[in-house]
Structure formats: C-alpha cells, structure tokens
A and B are shown apart, each in its own frame.
Chain A
Amino acid sequence: MDVKDITIGMVGSGGDGVVSAGEFLVSAAAAEGLYAYLLKAFGPQIRGGESSCRVRISDHRLYTHGTGIDVLVAFNWEDFVKMSSELVVKDGVFVIYEEKDPTLESDIPLDPAIKRTVKKIPLTKIAMDVAGTALAKNIVTLGILGEAFHLPSEGLKHAIRTKFAKKGEKVIESNIAALEGGASWAREHLQDIPRRLTYVRGTPKIALTGNESFAAGALYAGCRFYAGYPITPSSEILEWMARELPKFGGTCVQAEDEIAAIGMLAGVSFAGGKPMTSTAGPGLSLMTEALGLATTAELPMVVVDCQRTGPSTGIPTKPEQSDLYQALFSAHGDAPRVVMAPIDVPDCFRVAVEAFNIAEAYQTPVVVLSDQLIAQRKVSIERIDPNRIKVIERSKPAPGELEGYERFKMTADGVSPMAIPGMRGGAYVAAGIEHDELGDPTSSGDVHERMNEKRIRKLEPLRDREDLVLRFGPEDARVGVISWGSTVSALREVLDVLAQKERHFKILAPSVLYPLPTAIVQRFVDSVDRILIIEMNHLGQFYRYLRMHVDFPAGKVKTYHRSGGRVFDVREVMEQVEGVFP
C-alpha cells in the first residue's frame, strides 16, 4: 500500500547512531523538497545511554510527530523498553532488528495485540562487508529504509555527501557504499512491504531546529550580543550564537550565571546594543530581578525561555507550557514586560524579529516563551523569506533634542528618545530606583505614579496589532479554539483532519500574550458558539489569564489543560476539539 505520510522510529545505544540517522532523513527529505519532522529523545546517561528518534516524512505539510510509528528499527530491545513511551507504534508496524540479536520474534516487547511484520536483518554484517566497519550500520539501515519504504534515496546520498564533505572523498565513498549495500540487500530480501511512501518531489527545503530558527532571526534583527548560561533545552542558542556572532563583529559570552547574563544584557542595551539571552524556567527565575530593572530603566532586550517541565528542575528534556505565569507576573512592583510565544519552528524566526522590533520600538524587555518541543525538534520546511519583516531601531534623540535632554520625557506615546553613551549632552543615569524625567532619583509618589502610567501606557498599542495574532481555519466557523505556543501546531493538524469530515473550526493564537489583544480575543469569543481553550500545564494558566480580561459567557467555554512531560498527541487534541462541537 502506498501512503502519503510515513513515520520511522529508531532506538539504540550510544554508537548506534540512531539520532544522526534521523537527522540524515530530515536532510534527505529537505533535499527532495519533502517535509520532515524529527523528535529526538535521550536517556538520562550523559554519554552512551539509550537514544531514540522518530521522523515523519511527507510531501504535505507536517504539524506534529504524527500518530504512531510505521517502521520501527530496534538496534537493541532493552533500549526500546526504556524509550517505548517515545516510540508508540501503529497497528501493522514493520519491525526491523539485528539478525544477531537472540530475541525471538515472539518475545519482542510489543503489545501482542498489535499486528506487525518482523524482519531480522544482518545489519552489522552488511556494514562490515560493504564499509568495513560496524559503525556504518546506521547508514546501512538508511539504505534499507530508503529502498524498502521508498524514502528519498537520492536525498540521502546528497545528505551524506554534504555531511561528510569536509572529511574527504574516502569517507563519503565508504558511507555511500554502506547506503547502497543496505539498498541492494533490501531489493533482494524485502518485498511485500505493507506501507511505502509515495510522494511528489518539490523545491528543496531547509532543515533546522526551533532554537536555530530563533537564533537566526535574532541575528537578522540586528542582535550582536548574546550572553547566556547553559541550560536544557536552550543551550543550542548559546552554541549557535558563539559560532555565528563573532563573524559579524558580535560577542557571545557564556556568563557565570543567569543573573550575570541578564546583567550584561542591561549594560549592552544601555550602551545602544541589541542584546539577547536564552534560558529555561529555572534561569528565568534568576533573571526576574533584572527584568524588573529593564522595565523601569526602559531597556530593550530579548529573553527567550525554552520551557521545560517545572517547578524547580522538573523534567529538563520534556516540554510544558507552564512558565506563562512566571513570564507575565514574576516581578515585584507594577512591572509590565512584553511576553510573546512562537507556535513552531518557522514562527521562531518571525517572533525573534518581532521581539527585537517591539523591544526597540517600546524600549522594553520582551520575554519569549518557546518550549522544548519547538526548540529542539528538527524539521524540513519551506524556505523562510526574512525580508518580509522590516527591522526597527529604537528612537534616539536628534542633536537638537539634547539641549536640556530628558531621558524619561513624558511623550504622547510614552516612548522617550534614548540617549546612548558617547552622545554629547545626553548623559544621564539609568536606574532601578524610581526617577523623574531627567533620570534623577525620586521618592515622590506622584512621580512614581506618572512613571508607572508611562511604562504601562507605552505598550498599549500592541493590544490592537492584528498582525501579531495568528488565525487558522475558516472565519465563519461556529467553533473556536484559543491556544498559544507549541500546542497550536497540534491544533492545525486537527484542523486539516476534521475539515475532511466537514467539521470546521477556527483557531486564534496571539503571538503577544502581554499586552493581551483583549478586544481581538473578545471579538473572536463573540463570533462563535463554542470555545475551547487548550494548553500544556496543569493549572490552565492561559485560560485563567484570559479570564482576567475577556468576558466568557457561562457554558460557552471548555478548557483542556494537563501537565507536560508528554507531547500532545493529535488524537488527544482531536478528541477535545470534537468534544466542543454541538
């Protein structure tokens, strides 16, 4: 049977190369213009433990990791048992494992109720025969998968050539031999494949993770300074910045802690730069005091929180959308700061640029809530046109305005032109202490009221930015779903599936969570008969936050929220959406 959409799952120990095999599949898909969606999972060992990946490939757009695995490659069944929650298989799964493995077909640890086709394949032997090393067995496996399941085989060759380009022709040849060895074994031994991918080739795509997408967006937006402290699942942003920023005369510092990192951002912003840091929940907690400083000193900066489960250490490698309250409210005083959320990997690029633009335009810190599912998944997607978004710079005083310069001048829109050290006549003292228009410290309650009002008022125009609210689905649908962040992806897949069943609904996903586009959300609520609010945290933080601002008529709203640690499954989300249809 030909299928339009196939998911490969692979599991093994360190050295089996399952994760790099998954990455090759993504690159191969991109090379042939297909979409791909890769999730990686690692056991708790630092090195050499079990790891798994699942790659979904199709010529139509993919929003999630799919509903189950069509082809399972288990280099080791003990590892499979440890990772089985990441590797849920479909009925009719095709199972491949090493011929040398003594596990009997009847003993493999799959639910006996699941129908399967099982093949033991001499993966190691083929690797030794064609490439002279057992290490090539992941590439042999790719050759087998490519041939048997009609995966993008030319793309695989291209991916191998690109990956090993720097290692020389010999390494490339050996890996191509492994790929072809696997393919020819499959031609000879694997007929009667139950599910083969069918696809139409497209224009080549790009392959990247959410963290890479965000970092690239920041660079595009003019960020030339990054400081951060390693923390899962955000460290790839630090690593990317360390590699790329110096090329542009930029600076990347691995700070001694998150407090120092955001302190450096404050200094850079004060001195006229566009700084960024990235972290996860625990790091954002440490940055809280300095975020308040950035609010009161009116300093543009971007802080990315790649959310993982909390509180405290939580489960560092698993996603959750539970830092919303922290992002919105974790500060003493009336401390507004913009909070944004990208919904997927390409959206990370857009939100990064918008976050810098908002930070600059409104002289405010912007906290961006990504999460592990967006940050670390790797996808093959259409090329992004960066030039769609104009880059904005902060307002600075013109030479004439430096006569009697007031850093925190009361302006109509609340934004005061910001002098930068080096500007003659602009000298002022930025401060966390309450200050008057000149920046001089004050203990006047009246001035404090005026300054609070200014800092809050200047962000208000963001509430009406239709371009910062994402909408999907038919405008005239009578069922509406409101969500944010990575959960929106699962909803978009459900949207397509239910459309085929003539069950139409529409999705509203604000990119800016503070200030909330209250009127836009209210109009959306009023435009439908039933509302579902869905998010991945135990409390229903987004729902409760919406309740502070939006009027929900009794009985109109259903909510679905549960803790993270498990990615939302499409069927799980679909059941919730269908549940609100009349």
Chain B
Amino acid sequence: MSVETKVPEAAHVVYGVKDYRSDLKSIWCPGCGDFGVVSSVYKALAKLQLPPENVAIISGIGCSSRLPGYVATYGFNAIHGRAVPIATGVKLANPELTVLAVGGDGDGFSIGGGHIPHAARRNVDLTYVIMDNQVYGLTKGQYSPTTPMGDISTSTTLGSIESPLNPLLLCLSYGVGFLAQCFSSDTKMLGDLIADGIRHPGFAMINVISPCPTFRGHDQFKHIKEVAVDLAEEGHDPSSFDAALRVARRTDHQNCFGLVYREDKPSYHERLAKVRERSRARGVYEPADVLKQFDV
C-alpha cells in the first residue's frame, strides 16, 4: 500500500497557515532566507490539510535547525548532523506521522553527510528540506561545504581552497527518488515542492538556496532572482535520470529551480511489510513465550 493514499486530500479547508505557526519568537536575522522556508512549510502543511499533531519536524543544529520551534507541530531540535537518522526513527515508529527533516548545508552535507546515501537507499518516507546558505551562520561565518572556492569567510580569510560539493549531483548518485531545488523567496514554488515531497512515498530531498544576508550579503537575493532558471519552464523532464544529471552538471546548477528528478520505487515500509509477512509464516508466538524457542 502506498503511503500517498494516507495523505488526506482537502475536502474542505480546516487548517489555515496560521494553525501551523507557533508563538515562539525567531532568533533568525532580519532578511534571513529561512523565513521563506518556514512560510513554505506552513503552506505545504495547509495545502495537504495535515493535522498539526500528526506532523513531526526533526532538525539538527544550526540557524535553520531552529525551524521546528516555529511550527506548531511536534518537533525535535536534536544534535548536529543527525536529523535524518532521528527522523527515520520517528517514521519507523509511527508510519502514520508525516515526518520532515530540516537543517542547513553544514548539518546535512558536512557533519551529517554520511546519512544521506543510506536514507536514499532505505527510502523511508521522509521529506528532507535543506536550507543551503553556503556558510556556518550560527557560529558566525565560517565556510561550509557549499561555499564557492575562493570565497572569504572567517575561517578562510585568504579565500577557500576547497571546491564546493554539488548537492544535486550527489543526491542523484545516491539514488534519491525525489529531488528538487528551490529558492527560499519563491514560497509558492517551495510550498508546492514540499507538499509534493510529502506526498512522494519515499525519501524526498528539497535543496533550498536560502541566502544568509548577515554573512554573505543582501545582494544574493537580487542576483539569484536574476539568474534563476525555472526547470519546468525550460521543459526539463524530471522523470529522466539523464536529464536530471544534465541539470546537476550545469555550471549554474545552484540556480536551477523546480523538480529535478522523480522516480517511484517501493518505500521502506512497503518492503518491510513483506518481510513481516514472510517472517510470520515461520510461526508467531506470544511474547510471554519468547523463551520457548530455547527449548531443546
């Protein structure tokens, strides 16, 4: 059974955007790209009419990892880099929940980078929203795994000598079944992409270019708007892996927005259901009788 069928379609609107907004005061700087992301999360949840108590948003550490506090759902602001395994646990414990993982480029691609291939492999039904600002903001401006080569930061005062990684290319190579990229200011597109990611029955990744005006300047917003490429308008076919790879290999890949790739494959829970069924065929006992299997 596809998890998609469990997402309630709005027969009539019960929950508005405000029902997902918490009262907690934000610590983000004025103009932070992450405001657009949290607004898009509200929009996506409202679009899907998900009861707030049935949603869990899991994050690691970083500016963007504060996001769960600003949403009136269940949340978990955990430890650096571990949003994905924790979100995996939440979903495996209760598949009825809608589970989002959120965090920054440092949290997701640096300290937590080792978890993405395995999340893709397992294909647990999670939606992972990465807010990529190309910098460590919470610790005040060090270079991150997506900082362009040559850029000055507080830890690369003479310019970074490391090449930035390419999130789209690495996610495609890992086998992520739903991959999108968006600009944080485009809350309409981002809200729709997050909703689609939630609907996708498996691991969905949305890489959001979410600028940090404090450490990387206000000009980015203007610049990104000027160079943005709308993949749908360009006629990109997200069902084609080759086409997705071509997007990922563009020199301006970080400016390409929309659904990059989508492939339907069995989710972890679909495969797990079969394992459970097969294991029961060998006989089930009462847990109180667990020790009987050690009779000789």
Contact = CB atoms under 8 A, between A and B. Distances in A.
B287 A219 contact: yes
Nearest to A261: B85
Nearest to B27: A441
Contacts of A383: 291
A31 B294 CA distance: 11
Interface stretch (A424-432, A521-529, A557-565, A569-577): A424-432
B191 interface: no
Interface stretch (B6-14, B216-224, B246-254, B273-281): B273-281
A461 interface: no
B137 interface: no
Contacts of A289: 79
Contact of A271 (B66, B97, B114): B97
A216 B89 contact: no
B51 interface: yes
A380 B91 CA distance: 40
Interface in A104-131: none
Contact of B284 (A248, A256, A272, A425): A248
B24 interface: yes
Nearest to B118: A256
A172 to B, nearest CB: 15
B243 interface: no
Given A31-B296, A260-B115, A427-B53, A267 B284 contact: no
B77 A271 contact: no
A267 B88 contact: yes
A297 B82 CA distance: 15
Contacts of A384: 291
Nearest to B277: A246
A155 B54 CA distance: 55
Nearest to A240: B293
A429 B82 CA distance: 16
B198 interface: no
A275 interface: yes
Given A206-B294, A249-B276, A272 B93 contact: yes
Contacts of B36: none
Interface stretch (B68-76, B143-151, B164-172, B259-267): B68-76
A427 B72 contact: yes
Contact of A257 (B56, B114, B278, B284): B114
B3 interface: no
A155 B78 CA distance: 54
Given A220-B287, A429-B76, A158 B86 contact: no
Contact of A267 (B58, B276, B278, B283): B58
A220 B97 contact: no
Contacts of A251: 92, 272
B63 interface: no
B276 A430 contact: no
A271 B85 contact: no
Size bracket of the B interface: 35 or more
Interface string A205-216: 111100010001
Nearest to B90: A267
Nearest to B51: A424
B52 interface: yes
A437 interface: no
Nearest to B275: A246
Contacts of B4: none
B176 interface: no
Interface in A309-353: 349
A460 B233 CA distance: 64
Interface in A257-303: 257, 259-261, 263-273, 275, 289-290, 293, 297
Nearest to B58: A267
Nearest to A32: B296
B290 interface: yes
A256 B119 CA distance: 9
Nearest to B82: A263
B77 A247 contact: no
Interface string B131-171: 00000000000000000000000000000000000000000
A392 B45 CA distance: 36
A146 interface: no
B294 A246 contact: no
A275 B89 CA distance: 9
B118 A421 contact: no
B103 to A, nearest CB: 13
Contacts of A427: 52-53, 72-75
Max count, chain B CB within 10 A of own CB: residue among A264, A272, A422: A264
Max count, chain A CB within 10 A of own CB: residue among B115, B283, B295: B295
Interface in A40-70: none
B186 interface: no
A220 B236 CA distance: 53
A419 B53 CA distance: 10
A260 B92 contact: no
B94 interface: yes
Given A266-B89, A271-B94, A272-B94, A204 B287 contact: no
A222 B286 CA distance: 11
Contacts of A266: 76, 78, 82, 86, 89
Interface of A: 27-28, 30-31, 155, 158-159, 162, 204-208, 212, 216, 219-220, 222, 225, 227, 243-244, 246-249, 251, 253, 255-257, 259-261, 263-273, 275, 289-290, 293, 297, 349, 380, 383-384, 386-387, 419, 421-433, 440-441
18 contacts: A207-B294, A247-B280, A247-B282, A248-B287, A253-B92, A260-B84, A263-B78, A263-B82, A264-B85, A264-B92, A266-B86, A268-B89, A297-B78, A421-B54, A425-B53, A426-B74, A431-B77, A431-B78
Interface of B: 24, 51-56, 58, 61, 66, 68-69, 72-79, 82, 84-94, 96-97, 114-115, 117-118, 122, 272, 275-276, 278-280, 282-284, 287-288, 290-291, 293-296
Given A255-B118, A384-B291, 19 more contacts: A31-B296, A246-B272, A246-B280, A251-B92, A255-B85, A256-B114, A259-B82, A260-B85, A260-B88, A267-B85, A267-B87, A268-B90, A268-B92, A421-B56, A422-B53, A426-B74, A430-B76, A432-B77, A433-B77
5 nearest CB pairs, A to B: A267-B89, A263-B85, A264-B89, A271-B93, A429-B75
